[in-house]
Amino acid sequence: MATPTTTTLFHTTDYRGATIEDLNIPQAISVNPTTPTSDALAIGFENEFTFLPVIHEVNKRLLGVIDLGANGAKVSGVVLDHMMWFNQGAKRKYLSDQLREQQDAGSTKGTTGTNQRTSATTKILKPRGKRYSVLTPLSPLEDLAGFFNRGNYFAIVTNDAGLGNFVYGVVTPEDLMKYEQSRPKL
């Protein structure tokens, strides 16, 4: 995982009312933690995505992302083995639910080993005490530029006020740079 930097990427202070929706980003394609990593890589390659949102299989809540660039050579296993979680609580709850489901089904083999391995190999994106910025399609590009200038290297855009019920898309600094280069200068 790349370390966020404090370098200022964007110096534009006026995007003339443009919003994230004006970037014309493709709609996000989400995967589940149980999706084979090889399938996630194929989806990313076909759609030219670097990051894929990872959502819960049942309640569709956003759990984290998988960085396809960092996992290009790691095609074994499932997304759960390689994803970056947004917080420790979601990870703990998901893994305990998986274990409980497996025990209810009468089998204790398979997921338990995955859970133990996952605990050591996956990362948590949100350090304790850090707050997220809510970005929707109607968020001004000034907010997105500020978000990237604080060292973030991708943004998950949702359709709501931070509830994470629907992932609209994933935006990278490159998307905003392309927009800046394509618009006429004042």
CATH of the domain at 159: 3.10.580.10
Q: Shortest CA distance to 81 belongs to which of 40, 39, 115, 125? A: 115
Say which residue the tokens 């003339």 belong to. 16
Query: Is the predicted pLDDT of residue 128 greater than 60, yes or no?
Result: no
pLDDT at position 164: 52
79 or 164, greater pLDDT: 79
Read off the amino acid at residue 113: G
- Report the percentage of the chain scoring pLDDT > 90: 22
Q: Poorest-confidence range of 9-18, 55-64, 106-115?
A: 106-115
Domain assignment present for residue 1? The answer is: no
127: domain range? 20-182
pLDDT at position 114: 44
Chain-centroid distance of CA 54 in Å reads 7
Q: Using CA atoms, how far apart are residues 51 and 49, in angstroms rounded to an integer?
A: 6
Domain assignment present for residue 66? The answer is: yes
pLDDT at position 176: 93
pLDDT digits (tens, 9 = 90+) for 28-78: 899 999 999 999 999 999 998 888 999 988 888 888 889 888 766 567 889
Domain assignment present for residue 114? The answer is: yes
Domain assignment present for residue 178? The answer is: yes
pTM of the prediction? Answer: 0.71
pLDDT at position 184: 74
What does the DSSP 8-state code read for residue 92?
H
Domain count, the chain: 1
Domain assignment present for residue 87? The answer is: yes
pLDDT at position 104: 83
Domain assignment present for residue 142? The answer is: yes
Domain assignment present for residue 71? The answer is: yes
